[in-house]
């Protein structure tokens, strides 16, 4: 077979294998769908999950000492109640005089000096003693508290101090309590402190006034003004004893030191017989820690000089000023009346022990 024949045969086989390509279909293509495309969802796309690290294990604390127990709340027992003992009933007496002169003194005002003078005097009188109360305060509160109109009086203790011929007995007033008398004063007494400055033995003027009446009484109680001036020095010079009413409050406690210095000076220079008869706690409220602490400190400092009797706060005391009576006759069953009755017993027991 020649070369040209072979080429012709291979050409026919190739055309049969390839063939004629199929024609594309004739027609209108399918249209794409018409319409509004669906909107994509509006909103914040979700955040991918956040993986947190595993928490570190809590370290075990090292063993420590056991916690201290809480301190107990401070509770102070009532020192006044702990000191209380039964007081003996005062023995009756068959004669009177001479009087023991006692000054009720504290340079701080409002501590109960006048109230104590009135009610202690009434308590002593109820136990059969004759008592003279001396109003030695120009305010005249003692006189008013016993229904004596001091501002209307023409002659008072001022006249006894400044006039040579004045007689003490002529100026003494009787009160509603049998055995309890009053030597009144008013604002005129304030002038005496100035006028006595130039007098000889000016500190002994009150002692001279009382000299003629001490034989008629068992007790003379002097209500001093709230100062340490010349009138107070006169009272300390005339007295054998001093009762210090002390409000259970810090500032009152500080003032006792100044009063003790004055008492020591009067004892050294004018009246060697002067002594502190006792310290009386007034306006005492056992419910307050402060009152109990102050009273405990006073007892710690002065021991038996402090009366076991304490005068508690009560609304009855202002009432007695209005009616002009001691609380022992106005409200005899009240705690204030019981307290002052006990104070009178205690004072009489101390004087009986002194002999």
Q: What is the pLDDT of residue 316?
A: 85
What confidence score (pLDDT) does residue 124 get? Answer: 97
The total domain count for the chain is 1
With beta carbons less than 8 A apart as the criterion, state whether 173 and 137 touch: no
DSSP state of 203: G
Residues in the chain predicted with pLDDT less than 70, given as ranges, are: 1-76
Residue among 317, 308, 307 at smallest CA distance from 337: 317
pLDDT for 58:
63
Task: Write b or e for each residue in 30-39: b if 16 or more Cβ atoms lie within 10 A of its Cβ, otherwise e.
Answer: eeeeeeeeee
Per-residue model confidence as pLDDT tens digits over 209-234: 999 999 999 999 999 999 889 999 99
Tokens for 348? 């009489």
Residue 36 domain-assigned (yes or no): no
The DSSP-derived string for 317-347 is HHHHHHHTS-HHHHSTTSHHHHHHHHHHHHH
Q: Does residue 153 belong to any structural domain of this protein?
A: yes
| Residue listed under structure tokens 């009434």 | 122
For residues 103 and 274, the answer to whether their CB atoms sit within 8 Å is no
Residue 105 falls inside a structural domain? yes
Q: What is the pTM of this model?
A: 0.78
In a domain, 307, yes or no: yes
Q: Is residue 1 part of a domain?
A: no
Residue 117 lies in a domain: yes
Residue 108: per-residue pLDDT: 87
- Is 334 domain-assigned? yes
Burial of 244 (0-12, 13-18, 19+ CB in 10 A): buried
Tokens of 133: 């109360």
pLDDT at site 311: 95
CATH of the domain at 349: 3.40.50.300
pLDDT score at 151:
87
SS3 call for 183:
strand
pLDDT of residue 343: 97
- Residue 187 in domain: yes
Residue 123's domain comprises: 95-354
Enumerate the β-bridge partners of residue 306.
279
Digit-coded pLDDT (tens) for 158-167? 999 999 888 9
85 vs 29: CA distance, rounded Å? 130
């Amino acid at each position: 077979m020649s070369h040209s024949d072979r080429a012709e045969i291979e050409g026919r086989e190739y055309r049969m294998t390839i063939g004629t390509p199929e024609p594309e279909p004739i027609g209108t293509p399918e249209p794409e769908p018409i319409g509004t495309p669906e909107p994509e969802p509006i909103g914040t796309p979700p955040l991918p999950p956040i993986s947190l690290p595993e928490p570190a294990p809590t370290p075990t604390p090292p063993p420590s000492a056991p916690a201290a127990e809480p301190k107990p709340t401070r509770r102070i027992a009532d020192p006044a109640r702990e000191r209380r003992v039964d007081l003996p009933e005062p023995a009756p007496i068959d004669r009177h005089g001479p009087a023991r002169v006692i000054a009720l003194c504290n340079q701080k005002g409002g501590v109960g000096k006048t109230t104590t003078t009135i009610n202690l005097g009434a308590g002593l009188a109820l136990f059969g003693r004759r008592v003279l109360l001396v109003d030695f305060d120009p305010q005249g509160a003692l006189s008013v508290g016993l229904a004596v109109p001091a501002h209307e009086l023409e002659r008072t203790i001022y006249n006894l101090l400044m006039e040579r011929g004045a007689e003490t007995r002529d100026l003494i007033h009787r009160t509603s309590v049998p055995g309890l008398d009053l030597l009144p004063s008013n604002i005129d007494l304030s002038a005496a402190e100035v006028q006595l400055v130039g007098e000889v033995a000016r500190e002994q003027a009150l002692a001279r006034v009382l000299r003629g009446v001490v034989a008629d009484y068992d007790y003379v109680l002097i209500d001093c003004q709230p100062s340490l001036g010349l009138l107070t020095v006169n009272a300390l010079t005339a007295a054998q004893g001093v009762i210090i009413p002390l409000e259970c409050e810090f500032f009152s406690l500080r003032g006792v030191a100044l009063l003790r210095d004055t008492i020591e000076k009067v004892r050294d220079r004018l009246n060697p017989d002067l002594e502190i008869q006792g310290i009386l706690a007034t306006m005492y409220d056992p419910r307050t820690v402060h009152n109990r602490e102050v009273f405990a400190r006073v007892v710690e400092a002065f021991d038996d000089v402090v009366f076991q009797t304490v005068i508690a706060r009560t609304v009855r005391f202002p009432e007695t000023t209005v009616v002009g009576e001691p609380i022992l006759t106005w409200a005899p069953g009240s705690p204030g009346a019981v307290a002052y009755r006990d104070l009178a017993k205690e004072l009489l027991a101390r004087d009986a022990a002194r002999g």
